[in-house]
């Protein structure tokens, strides 16, 4: 939504339906978008923005009001499947670390309201990036950084109790890496050989290896089983050397059948959200951030692409 040339919410919902896209992630509870989603049949992952975390963590009344305005007002005509509390909050470093103390209290406050209203089908969790992983090679030895365990372990404990998945944004910033660090074929699902052998399991692509290292890190806490939903993955089409339309098409089109088959450690479909539907010309950060869309804002295909396996 970070653009001044994007289609209206109603147009976007109609565009999803025309392309047979059955799930959507919203990064904030935009009322126009929620209204447009009524009776659309689209499953929704709805996010609590980082900037709202302090308020909802420190006030149960504000959490109740947020649920009333963003969930109860629309559910079940809007099929809200998940609530993602915070996005890419790292307790130790990164731009979002100041929000870390508020993630779990917000999850708990929102979860209590959801349960009190009998909305048991809605799962409440948080969306992380991979910066909290200390070791990812080989994938079976994946582990969390020691300094983030005091932040993550209570969240994992909640997820086990609530039977909720952990959301993870899986990207590899190939366009900003040093040439030769990771082979492009390995990052874009086009490597024919097993580049990484981990015991009896072999890996032809980085996505599988990253996801498996997160599974191993979660298992290594010994807190309990937690499913992972990939809440974002994508590749920019401009803004850096390897950020091209051809590489973006290759990554996105190969990602879909890959996640439908699952990973070597867990060979079952992995619920995965592509980032993003449209380019966003007002998004801050590096130039690549403005070029993750599968489509231009005028809804024209950026490159040949079909949804589905």
What is the full DSSP assignment across 143-179?
A: EE-GGGHHHHHHHHHHHHHHT-PEEEE----GGGSPT
Q: What percent of the residues of the chain are helix, what percent strand, and what percent coil, each to the nearest 5?
A: 40, 15, 45
Let me know if residue 274 belongs to a domain: yes
Let me know if residue 302 belongs to a domain: no
Asked whether the predicted pLDDT for residue 40 surpasses 70, the reply is: yes
- Whole-model pTM? 0.95
Asked whether the predicted pLDDT for residue 139 surpasses 50, the reply is: yes
**pLDDT at residue number 180:** 56
Query: How many CB atoms lie under 10 A from the CB of residue 292?
Result: 25
The count of structural domains within the chain is: 1
**pLDDT at residue number 175:** 45
Q: Note the pLDDT tens digit of each residue in 69-124.
A: 999 999 999 999 999 999 999 998 888 999 999 999 999 999 999 999 999 999 99
Let me know if residue 309 belongs to a domain: no
Let me know if residue 44 belongs to a domain: yes
**pLDDT at residue number 135:** 79
Let me know if residue 305 belongs to a domain: no
Span 286-304, average pLDDT:
95
**pLDDT at residue number 301:** 92
Give the residue numbers spanning the domain of 83.
9-290
Q: Which of 128-137, 139-148, 208-217 has the lowest mean pLDDT?
A: 128-137
**pLDDT at residue number 307:** 78
**pLDDT at residue number 177:** 46
Beta bridge partners of 135: 143
**pLDDT at residue number 306:** 81
Let me know if residue 295 belongs to a domain: no
Q: Which residues are catalytic?
A: 88, 232
Q: Note the pLDDT tens digit of each residue in 145-199.
A: 999 999 999 999 999 999 999 999 999 865 444 445 788 999 999 999 999 999 9
Asked whether the predicted pLDDT for residue 283 surpasses 60, the reply is: yes
**pLDDT at residue number 187:** 93
Let me know if residue 297 belongs to a domain: no
- CATH number of domain containing 194: 3.20.20.80
Let me know if residue 196 belongs to a domain: yes
**pLDDT at residue number 24:** 98
**pLDDT at residue number 305:** 84
Cβ-based neighbours of 110, under 8 Å, separated by 6 or more = 48, 56, 63, 66, 67, 83, 85, 124
User: Torsion angle, CA of 66/70/72/75, rounded to 10 degrees?
Assistant: -160
Mean pLDDT taken over the chain: 94
Give the H/E segment covering residue 83. strand 79-87
């Amino acid at each position: 939504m970070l653009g001044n040339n994007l289609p209206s919410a109603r147009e976007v919902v109609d565009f999803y339906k025309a392309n047979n896209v059955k799930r959507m992630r919203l990064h904030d509870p935009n009322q126009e978008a929620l209204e447009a989603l009524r009776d659309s049949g689209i499953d929704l992952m709805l996010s609590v923005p980082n900037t709202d975390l302090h308020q909802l963590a420190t006030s149960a009344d504000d959490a109740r009001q947020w649920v009333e305005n963003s969930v109860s007002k629309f559910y079940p005509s809007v099929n809200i499947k998940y609530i993602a509390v915070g996005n890419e909050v790292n307790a130790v470093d990164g731009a979002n670390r100041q929000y870390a103390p508020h993630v779990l209290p917000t999850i708990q406050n929102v979860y209590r309201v959801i349960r009190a209203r009998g909305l048991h089908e809605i799962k409440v969790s948080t969306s992380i990036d991979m910066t909290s992983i200390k070791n990812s090679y080989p994938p079976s030895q994946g582990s969390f950084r020691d300094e983030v365990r005091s932040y993550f372990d209570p969240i994992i404990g909640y997820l086990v109790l609530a039977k909720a998945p952990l959301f993870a944004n899986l990207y590899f910033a190939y366009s900003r890496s040093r040439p030769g660090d990771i082979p492009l074929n390995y990052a874009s699902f086009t490597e024919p050989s097993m580049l990484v052998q981990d015991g009896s399991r072999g890996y032809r692509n980085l996505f599988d290896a990253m996801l498996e290292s997160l599974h191993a890190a979660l298992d290594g806490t010994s807190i309990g089983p937690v499913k992972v939903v990939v809440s974002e993955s994508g590749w920019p089409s401009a803004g850096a050397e390897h950020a091209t339309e051809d590489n973006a098409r290759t990554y996105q089109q190969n990602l879909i059948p890959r996640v439908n088959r699952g990973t070597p450690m867990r060979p079952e479909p992995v619920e995965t959200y592509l980032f993003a539907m449209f380019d966003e010309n007002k998004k801050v950060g590096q130039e690549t951030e403005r070029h993750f869309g599968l489509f231009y804002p005028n809804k024209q295909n950026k490159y040949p692409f079909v949804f589905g396996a």
